[in-house]
Structure 1
C-alpha cells in the first residue's frame, strides 16, 4: 500500500498538527470528542477515516462486521510476526504533509486500540515527535508481542535516544486485549523512554455503547468509551497529561 492512496481526513483547529487515529469500530462521537479536546487545546487535528461508518454509534452486529472486514483487509496486519500494517506508510505521508501545512516543531500522533501501534510506527517519519499509544491492541493473537518488528523498534529507539524523545502509553489494569505483558515488551524494546501509565479498572466508565457492551465488556478505551468526564477522574488526568505533553513537545518556544 503506497502513500498515493486517497482517504477522507477531517481537519479542524489551528496550531501544530496532531494526527488522531480512531479506534475500532470507527470514528464514534467519543473519538470525535477527544479530537475536539485536542483542537481546543490549540492544535490542528487531522483525523483520517480508516474503517467503519463515520459518526456512527454502531450496534454490536454492525461493529462486529466492521471488525471482521478490517481483519481481512490487506492494509492491516492483525497477527504476530507480520510487522507493521501497510496503512502506516500512508499515515507517515499524512504526518509529513500535516507538518508542512501547520508548522511548529513537529507532529503528534495518538493511536487507540487497533491503531495504537500505528502512532509508534509513524516515528519512522522524522516530523513525528510524540507518539501516544492508548491501549495498543495488535497483534491480536499474542498479548506479549508488539506489532512493530525488531528492526523498526531499533530504529525508533535510536531516534528516541538521539533526539531526547518519549513514547507515552496508557492502559487499564484489567484490559484483556492490551495486557500488561504487551507494555513489558514495549519497555524491553524501547527502554526508559517508553513512559506508561496503567489505570485502575475502577476508573473506567461502565456506560458504554452496544458494541463495547457486547464485545469489549471490560475496561479498555482510556480516552473514549471508558473515559469518565469529571474533575479528578484518572481518565481525565490522562487526557490532560497528553495535552500538556503535546504542547511541550510540539510548540515553538515563545
Structure 2
C-alpha cells in the first residue's frame, strides 16, 4: 500500500508551475519541501510525525520518485536534472529560484484554509533555501532551513550564498528585524551546507536560531535523522504557529 494512502492528493497551479501536493492532518499549516532524490519514505515519515503533533502538513512533490524507496542510482540522476531545470538555481549566486513564487502561492492557499498567525515552511538540502524565499511573504511565519545545499558550494562565493536575490535578501532581513525568527539545523561537519549559516548569522543576528549537530551526517530530519533536530523543529513550529500574532 502507498505510504501516501492516507494523504489527500491534489495539484497546485500558480505562476506557470503545476505540481502535485499531498495533505494530511488538522491544525496550523506546515509545508514540508522534500530533498533529493524525491518524496521518499523518510520525508513522508517526517510529515506524518508533524501530523501527529497536531499540524496540517502539505508535501509538494517537486522531483524524483514518490512514496517508494528511490530506485538504484536515482540520487545520482536527480541532481543533474535539477541543474538544467528552470525551477531551481543550482549554481547561480544572488538569485532567487523561480519556483519560490509557486511556493509562496501554496503557502497563501494553505493559510487561507487553516487560519492562525501563519504557516511554517521546512526546506531540506536542495530546497533548504526555499524556506527563506517563502519568508518574503508575510504569511510564512515559521521558516526552517535544514542543511541548505544550493547553490552547490563550489568556491567561496557559492558556499556562502543563500539562494536569494538582493531584494529578497533585504526582505528576509527586514522580516527578521520585525520579529520573524528563522531556525537552521545542520550537522556541524556537513561540507555541503558551505558557510551559509555564517551568512545567516551575519544577516539576521539573534533572529537566526543556529542548531549545529555533532556527527558527520547530512539529512538531519530524514535519512540521518537526529532527535535533537526533530525536537527543535517541532518546538519552533509549536511556538511560532500557536502563539498570538508573530511578526
TM range (shorter): 0.7 to 0.9
Q: Distance in 1 between matches of 2:199 and 2:236?
A: 23
Is this contact kept in 1: 2:185–2:210, CA < 8 A?
yes
Deviation at 1:59, TM superposition (A): 4.2
Q: What does residue 177 of structure 1 align with? A: 192
Correspondences of 1:74-113 after superposition (within 5 Å): 74-81=86-93, 83-113=95-125
Q: What does residue 6 of structure 2 align with? A: none
Deviation at 1:144, TM superposition (A): 2.1
RMSD over aligned CA atoms reads 1.6
Provide TM-score, normalisation by structure 2. Answer: 0.88
Q: What does residue 158 of structure 1 align with? A: 174
Correspondences of 1:199-238 after superposition (within 5 Å): 199-201=213-215, 219-227=217-225, 235-238=226-229
- Choose the corresponding residue for 2:165, options 149, 172, 187: 149
- Tell me the secondary structure at the aligned position of residue 198 of structure 1: strand
Render the CA deviation track for 1:47-96: whole Å, top value 9, x for unaligned.
Answer: 10000011232245222112211111011111132511100100000000
Is this contact kept in 1: 2:94–2:161, CA < 8 A?
no
Q: Distance in 2 between matches of 1:94 and 1:4?
A: 13
- Tell me the secondary structure at the aligned position of residue 186 of structure 2: strand
Unaligned runs of 5+ in 2: 1-12
Render the CA deviation track for 1:7-55: whole Å, top value 9, x for unaligned.
Answer: 1100000011000000001011110111011111001001100000112
Deviation at 1:197, TM superposition (A): 0.7
Q: Which runs of 4+ in 1 moved over 4 A?
A: none
Q: Distance in 2 between matches of 1:22 and 1:239?
A: 15
In terms of fraction of residues, the more strand-rich structure is 2
Is this contact kept in 2: 1:20–1:35, CA < 8 A?
yes
Q: What does residue 196 of structure 1 align with? A: 210
Is this contact kept in 1: 2:144–2:184, CA < 8 A?
yes
Q: Distance in 2 between matches of 1:125 and 1:193?
A: 17
- Tell me the secondary structure at the aligned position of residue 177 of structure 1: helix
Render the CA deviation track for 1:89-118: whole Å, top value 9, x for unaligned.
Answer: 000000000000111111000000000000
Deviation at 1:156, TM superposition (A): 1.0
Q: Distance in 1 between matches of 2:137 and 2:180?
A: 14
Is this contact kept in 2: 1:110–1:131, CA < 8 A?
yes
Q: What does residue 132 of structure 1 align with? A: 144
Is this contact kept in 1: 2:121–2:140, CA < 8 A?
yes
- Choose the corresponding residue for 2:79, options 67, 80, 84: 67
Q: Distance in 2 between matches of 1:173 and 1:5?
A: 35
